[in-house]
């Protein structure tokens, strides 16, 4: 996440070229995301995860060799980012289906909480700063360390109990990826509660993405804080997400999934009101922690409920739809936020999410109140 853009910036000062790395890494979700679930539902998720990680180790090894011999180009960087992004669609979908066969249903929320917190810690607290530091020491280091970590992870995943074996797929069915994908979409379209989880999750991600990309300008122009404060506030958000992920299972067991999901949306709406209506730093810190904590709780509670609602043979497809919606919402939200900020000011993208999230909370309560899944 940090090293590839830094490498592109060394190769070119053109912001479009540097931004192209993010496009190359994220576009596979929009291109292949829906189909990844059909692939995952067909094959042994454990072996598939190991194969994807092994392929990414080879890709990063190729990049390390090219950098070592001074023959790396921006096109190679794009290719590695895109190929790793394709692998991510398969791997993230596969790992979303690994937990239910490994833990009891009663412990599913706790297991998801641990998994979500590991993702937040790796993606926000540890990975990018470490990647940036290692890149400063030597350009090849972050890619070598990342490849070594992936090799270790592949070995750990392979050591899991072999409870993921699938029936052999006939050659005729191997070409029916699109048919299997449509079958998953049809099931989702007719399952009101599972469909609501996907839509509300996309709405949550969209409203978060509307204001987050311009947050750096908000810290500077609205709060009048120095540049270092931006990093500190990002840390507050990451810690809030970790706390939310840690408490999610306890909250859900205490008040039930309906109240938990509804409260997450309301808490995020309140947090964004605090960010948009106040320039007091303590109030902003509380609002930021509230929105991030709500997102952390939602990630665990929604994933757990989706796993319980979805038949095992469809879990890969439904998970991939959910992740594709979330990944697609991020660039749309960022684009909308830029236009809203340009037209109505830097607090407008923050405030616009409050009524939308409140409406989502009402829809959530009306959808799930009939039968609470704890």
3-state secondary structure at position 128: helix
- Residue in 201, 301, 303 with CA at minimum distance from that of residue 256: 301
Provide the pLDDT confidence category of residue 373 given band limits of 50, 70 and 90. very low
What average pLDDT score do residues 9-22 get?
83
Q: Tokens 């991600």 sit at which residue?
A: 205
Q: Are 270 and 344 in contact (CB under 8 A)?
A: no
Q: What is the pLDDT of residue 349?
A: 92
CA 361 to chain centre: 21
Answer whether residue 299 shows pLDDT above 50.
yes
- Residue in 41, 306, 93, 308 with CA at minimum distance from that of residue 198: 306
Among left, alpha and beta (phi > 0; psi -120 to 50; other), residue 100 is alpha
Selected residue with higher pLDDT from 159 and 371? 159
50 phi/psi in degrees, rounded to 5: -65, -40
Helices (H), the chain: 3-11, 15-42, 45-68, 74-96, 99-102, 108-120, 127-137, 141-158, 171-174, 177-190, 192-211, 215-217, 227-255, 257-277, 281-309, 315-344, 348-351, 353-368
Query: Dihedral through CA 188, CA 192, CA 193, CA 197, nearest 10?
Result: 60
Long-range CB contacts for residues 18-21, cutoff 8 Å, separation at least 24: 20/74, 20/78, 21/77, 21/78, 21/81
CA–CA gap between residue 159 and residue 74 (Å, rounded): 37
Answer whether residue 140 shows pLDDT above 60.
yes
Q: Are 30 and 328 in contact (CB under 8 A)?
A: yes
Q: What is the DSSP letter of 169?
A: P
In the numeric block, which tokens belong to residue 109? 């929320």
In the numeric block, which tokens belong to residue 92? 């993230």
- Residue in 78, 59, 66 with CA at minimum distance from that of residue 12: 78
Q: What is the pLDDT of residue 60?
A: 94
pTM reported for the whole predicted model:
0.86
- Residue in 127, 96, 101, 124 with CA at minimum distance from that of residue 112: 96
What average pLDDT score do residues 339-359 get?
94
Average model confidence (pLDDT) across the chain: 90
Q: Which of 119-133, 254-268, 350-364 has the lowest mean pLDDT?
A: 119-133
For residue range 143-197, list pLDDT tens digits in order.
999 999 999 999 999 998 888 776 555 555 555 888 999 999 999 999 999 999 9
For residue range 302-341, list pLDDT tens digits in order.
999 999 999 999 999 999 999 999 988 888 888 898 899 9
DSSP 34-66: HHHHHHHHHS-HHHHHHHHHHHHHHHHHHHHHH
For residue range 79-89, list pLDDT tens digits in order.
999 999 999 99
In the numeric block, which tokens belong to residue 203? 């709405």
CA–CA gap between residue 151 and residue 15 (Å, rounded): 33
For residue range 96-126, list pLDDT tens digits in order.
888 898 999 999 999 999 998 998 888 878 8
């Amino acid at each position: 996440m940090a090293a590839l853009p830094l490498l592109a910036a060394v190769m070119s000062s053109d912001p479009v070229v540097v931004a192209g790395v993010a496009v190359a890494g994220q576009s596979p979700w929009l291109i292949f995301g829906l189909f990844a679930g059909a692939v995952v539902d067909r094959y042994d998720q454990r072996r598939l995860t190991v194969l994807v990680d092994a392929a990414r180790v080879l890709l990063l090894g190729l990049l390390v060799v090219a950098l070592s011999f001074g023959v790396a180009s921006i096109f190679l960087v794009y290719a590695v980012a895109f190929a790793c992004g394709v692998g991510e669609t398969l791997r993230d979908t596969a790992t979303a289906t690994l937990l239910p066969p490994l833990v009891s249903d009663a412990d599913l929320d706790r297991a998801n909480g641990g998994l979500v917190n590991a993702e937040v810690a790796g993606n926000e607290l540890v990975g990018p700063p470490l990647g940036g530091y290692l890149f400063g020491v030597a350009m090849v280091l972050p890619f070598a360390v990342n490849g070594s970590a992936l090799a270790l992870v592949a070995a750990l995943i392979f050591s899991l109990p072999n409870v993921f074996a699938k029936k052999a797929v006939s050659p005729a069915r191997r070409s029916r990826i699109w048919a299997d994908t449509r079958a998953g979409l049809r099931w989702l379209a007719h399952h009101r509660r599972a469909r609501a989880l996907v839509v509300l999750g996309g709405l949550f991600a969209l409203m978060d993405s509307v204001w987050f990309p311009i947050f750096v300008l908000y810290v500077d122009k609205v709060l009048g804080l120095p540049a270092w404060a931006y990093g500190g506030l990002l840390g507050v958000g990451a810690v809030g997400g970790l706390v939310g992920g840690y408490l999610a299972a306890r909250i859900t067991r205490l008040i039930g999934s309906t109240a938990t999901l509804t409260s997450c949306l309301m808490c995020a709406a309140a947090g964004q009101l605090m960010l948009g209506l106040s320039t007091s730093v303590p109030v902003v810190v509380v609002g930021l922690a509230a929105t991030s904590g709500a997102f952390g709780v939602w990630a665990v509670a929604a994933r757990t409920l989706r796993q319980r609602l979805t038949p095992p043979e469809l879990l890969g497809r439904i998970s991939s739809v959910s992740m594709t919606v979330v990944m697609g919402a991020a660039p749309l939200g960022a684009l909308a936020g830029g236009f809203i900020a340009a037209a109505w000011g830097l607090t407008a993208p923050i405030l616009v999410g409050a009524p939308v999230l409140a409406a989502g909370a009402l829809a959530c309560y009306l959808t799930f109140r009939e039968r609470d899944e704890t």
